[in-house]
Amino acid sequence: MATGILALQGSFNDHRKSLELLDKEYVLIKDNGDLKNIDSLILPGGESTSMIKIQEESELFDSLKKLINDGIPTLGTCAGLILLAKDVLDGSVSLGLLDCVVERNAYGRQNESFEGLVKFNNNSQMYCFIRAPKIISARHNVKNVAQLDDEIVGIQENNIVGLCFHPELTNDENYLNWLNNFIVEGNNVRSF
């Protein structure tokens, strides 16, 4: 089985490189035909409104929503978090599965992108925030998995993890170990 990487637009090639480092097979998802034989899913950073627009004539997001609801381990980074969120300030709700409110581009424009020291997976590491969304609030059933100072920048609800930052750009050992456990091994997600 393979990990599906949404490849409509954005940083999908960087996530491909992460999976290659783990010797994990992957499929670049552009339409429903690409969803066969995947056992995990990554929704990359990029431009959420562009991704929504690109697929609006297809049923791709409906199919993704069904897979995620069925329990497939799912990681959304940056725009991927926006696609997963139930509430989006200054944007459109698309998949609406992760019980949180996010604000698009809350950390500023492209030229205000930055690196920050994030506590993630019992470790601290510098990660990139590129036109990043901010998690405004998360419901009680959502677990905090990453912090930047006092701000929550990563959350998990059952089989879904949403991150404001881009760990795929560093591919540090901490992130790759976590990714292996979450996506490849299926640890820390509800049983299928």
- Tokens matching residue 134: 């901010």
Q: How far apart are CA 48 and CA 33, in angstroms?
A: 22
Please report the pLDDT score of residue 187 as a whole number. 57
Which CATH code fits 2-184?
3.40.50.880
- Tokens matching residue 1: 């089985």
In the chain, what are the domain boundaries? 2-184
- Tokens matching residue 60: 């791709």
Q: How far is CA 51 from the centre of its chain?
A: 13
User: Can you give the three-state secondary structure of 113-143, one letter per residue?
Assistant: CEEEEEEECCEEEEEEECCCCEEEEECCCCE
Q: Are 68 and 40 in contact (CB under 8 A)?
A: no
Other Cβ atoms less than 10 A from the Cβ of 40: the count is: 25
Whether the pLDDT of residue 190 is over 60: the answer is no
pLDDT digits (tens, 9 = 90+) for 69-125: 999 999 999 999 999 999 999 888 999 999 999 999 888 777 778 899 999 999 999
Would you please indicate which residues are annotated as catalytic (active-site) residues?
Answer: 78, 166, 168
pLDDT digits (tens, 9 = 90+) for 150-169: 999 999 999 999 999 999 99
State the average pLDDT for the chain.
Answer: 92
Q: Are 38 and 54 in contact (CB under 8 A)?
A: no
Whether the pLDDT of residue 143 is over 80: the answer is yes
Other Cβ atoms less than 10 A from the Cβ of 42: the count is: 26
Q: What three-state secondary structure class fits 32?
A: helix
Q: Of 110, 102, 129, which Cα lies nearest the Cα of 118?
A: 129
Q: Are 73 and 159 in contact (CB under 8 A)?
A: yes
